[in-house]
Amino acid sequence: MNKFLIGIITIGLSIFLFYGFQWWNAAGAVEKVSEEEIGTWQETSEKVDDMTVMDGSDRKPAEEEKTYTEDVSAYQKGEEMGRLIIPFLNKGYKTYWGADEDSLKRGVGMYVSEWTTTPDEKGHTVLSGHRETVFTNLGDINEGDSLYYEYEQKRYEYKVDKTWVTDAGDRSVIVDKDEPTLTLTTCYPFNFVGDAPERYIIQASLVDVSDMADS
């Protein structure tokens, strides 16, 4: 076997091991969530909804309640700070502060910008993840599906409003929102090899907030 062929094999093996480690590292941030656990949350949400109807209160978050943190360094970059749950996929995803490449190598990253907020601030929360590692089945989610986000002992429930595909350079996705909104983004097409030219977007509206201690 000549040196050239050995070199090609060595380079190929190195690339395989590099990307294999990245996949393994990010895949470790994904866990299976049982239907029983999700069912408990939904029952709690329905009970609260029934109580709301009885006392006539309106639990829709008011626009004036939206706030923005002055300290965008509430967490260290790459620090674990919450969990996304997608019931339709029976999966939970650890999320990390920041959507930089290092954070995305670990799992799902939360955008930190002047236009985005954490869920408790009732603004626009944006989460991003690589399609090859964490968001492999994101295209299976439909309008009306539930998404949950656990943050600071609160569980935020969102309903998917719409999904769409846009150009990677589209600047109209990560913007300020008047209503509490959760947006998920990943690269598209899902089976594209290399740097994908488009982005797959899921947008959902907040419908409920509950204490995690109650479920």
* Residues with catalytic function: 130, 187
Residues 6+ apart with CB under 8 A from 42: 146
99, 111 Cβ separation under 8 angstroms = yes
CA atoms within 13 A on the CB side of 190: 12
Dihedral sign for Cα atoms in the order 28, 141, 84, 123: positive
Q: Half-sphere exposure of 99 toward its Cβ, with a 13 Å CA cutoff?
A: 15
